Amino acid sequence: GENDSEAILAQAWPFEQLRSEDAKGFASSSASFDPMYQVLGWLTNWAVWGENDSEASESDEGNQLEEVRRAIERAEAAGVDSDCLDTLRGKLEALEREVEKELGLIVYQAVSGELAAKVRVRPTDLIARLQDDVPRESEDLCGGFTRRHFVFGSKVLDAHATFAECGIVDGDSVFLVQTPLRCRTASFDSTFASMAPESRAEPVRSTLLSPDGRLLLTVTASAEARVWSLDTGELRCELSGRVASCSVSSDGALVAGTSDDCAARVWCTETGRCLRTLLGHAKVLRSVQFSPDDAHIASASDDATASTWSVQTGSRIDTFVGHMGPVVSSEFSSDATSLLTASADGTARVWNNASGSCKQVLKGHAKPLSSATFSSDQLKALTTSIDGTVRVWQTSTGSCTVALMAENGIANAAAFSPDGQMMVIASASKSVGLFSAHSGECMFMLAGHEDFVRSAAFSPDGVLIASASYDGTVRVWCVSSGECLQILTGHTDWVRGVAFSQDGMLVASASYDGTARVWHAVTGERLQSLECNS
């Protein structure tokens, strides 16, 4: 009977994640409200979307396909018209072939332009596979003592990311950059020597200032996290274990972070001791964030889910299921009633934090997302993607109101101003863009850096912007005039990240020279220089 069919279909897919407008292809107005047709409409829409955006489905490693198979079986048991199911089975078979398809890549030497290798990989393989698949030259000037990096689209590829997450498709070219660790020299004095150049410091990946401005948290590329006292510049403690990305509680007492396993952890900033281990994700975590009241933590994982956790007990409160690829970030709204997630499936989602249901799917990017953030009033969301675009969305309707292409097609970072009226974009260019969040109109191009800008941030009062660049400097800008107020010099290598203190008086910078530095935002005075290497 009809009730039995609905019960079976309810098990096939959660109704709260279905929307009547997804019932395309079965579209009589009455049918769009029938649960059975909602499921069929959703499956059809998913199949068509998967064909048009193979990167999202490829990164899913077949788990979502298995769920669709089960959904079709249950719909079949419910007595759905066989012709409709035959069409869906055909689309499912095409998607299965697409997921298993290998990519053919060409790897060139970045300096000479010569062919280094032709390799075949799966979209779900890690970039690290290239280290094995691309042969080393048997004899070179470095004698084989080299560190190798792979570059695609002007970005150094993360060894722990998949080819699909990096937006690499069949036929793409990747460039090999080799950094010498040892060089051979020959001289007219009849000698031949092998010399190792001065070792390079371990890059500092990120810095975070505690809200009271008294502590600084640094994370290096080797996943070492340290807490420093800004009053004395002394090391306060080192967090136990490996730390990839992290968040500081509003009182500065706790740090939540991810590692290279499937768990998140909570540490004490006084001792560095791990207080809680948050277990439950099936794959590596990408990000964590405290709720505004520090009672909960949101996590994002490669297992295509986000979760919320109790800080006090370490237990999982809810799991947010619906993305078809790794979830790269998760963020609470200012009142903690909503959660915003960004995914490698090319979408962001707005969730009801209390019920775990999906309120809106923000769909429009052509490639995986790299970030998503709420405006302070949570009425808008700002997303960046490796498709090179930055988009602003209405969170209540899911509609895109602004779409901007970043300079040179690479959006390194984007952020709302504290009042949500403006946004700053750092791209693969020597300038920083300041835009209206309502119209997308360019208000200022903040020019002056001598190399690409890696990141930019507003001060908490929205009066200043700080930008970090590969030219080794940090610049402080006036938002109202676009004037450069300070050039903060002293780093000897690329500057990767920048952050303001809660009162806007301090700026912290993270650099590839192995140091973190703290500056006075108004005077430009360097207050601390912290050596972050072991």
Pair 263, 278: CB distance under 8 Å = yes
Pair 306, 296: CB distance under 8 Å = no
Q: Are strands 173-180 and 103-109 parallel, antiparallel or unpaired?
A: parallel
Q: Give the residue from 13, 10, 16, 7 showing the smallest Cα distance to 357.
A: 16
The pTM score is 0.67
Please report the pLDDT score of residue 60 as a whole number. Answer: 46
Buried/exposed 402-414: b ≥16 CB within 10 Å, e otherwise: bebebbeebbbbb
Q: Give the residue from 491, 461, 462, 458 showing the smallest Cα distance to 474.
A: 491
For the stretch 357-368, pLDDT in tens is: 999 999 999 989
Count CB atoms within 10 A of the CB of residue 13.
21
Buried/exposed 16-45: b ≥16 CB within 10 Å, e otherwise: eebbeebbebbeeeeebebbbbbbbbbbbb
Q: Are strands 225-229 and 215-220 parallel, antiparallel or unpaired?
A: antiparallel
For the stretch 438-478, pLDDT in tens is: 999 999 999 999 999 999 999 999 999 999 999 999 999 99
Per run of 10 residues, the mean pLDDT along the chain (length 534 residues) is 42 38 38 46 49 42 63 73 71 65 82 80 84 65 60 82 84 81 54 52 86 89 90 92 89 91 93 94 93 96 95 95 94 96 95 95 93 95 94 97 91 94 93 96 95 94 96 96 96 93 93 94 94 77
Please report the pLDDT score of residue 331 as a whole number. Answer: 96
Radius of gyration of the chain (CA): 25
Please report the pLDDT score of residue 149 as a whole number. Answer: 86
Please give the structure tokens belonging to residue 300: 């994002």
What whole-number distance in Å separates Cα of residue 311 and Cα of residue 315? 8
Please report the pLDDT score of residue 190 as a whole number. Answer: 53
**Amino acid letter, 314:** G
Please report the pLDDT score of residue 129 as a whole number. Answer: 84
Domains along the chain with CATH numbers: 221-405 (2.130.10.10), 417-533 (2.130.10.10)
What whole-number distance in Å separates Cα of residue 124 and Cα of residue 57? 10
Pair 40, 99: CB distance under 8 Å = no
For residue 297, the SS3 value is strand
For the stretch 459-469, pLDDT in tens is: 999 999 999 99
Q: Report how far apart the first and last C-alpha atoms of the chain are (Å, whole number).
A: 69
Per the document, the length of the chain is: 534
Pair 267, 273: CB distance under 8 Å = yes
3-state secondary structure 76-132: HHCCCCHHHHHHHHHHHHHHHHHHHCCEEEEEEECCCCCEEEEEEECCCCECCHHHH
* Residue 388, CA distances (Å) to 251, 336, 367, 407, 479 in order: 36, 30, 9, 8, 24
What whole-number distance in Å separates Cα of residue 302 and Cα of residue 124? 11
Please report the pLDDT score of residue 61 as a whole number. Answer: 44
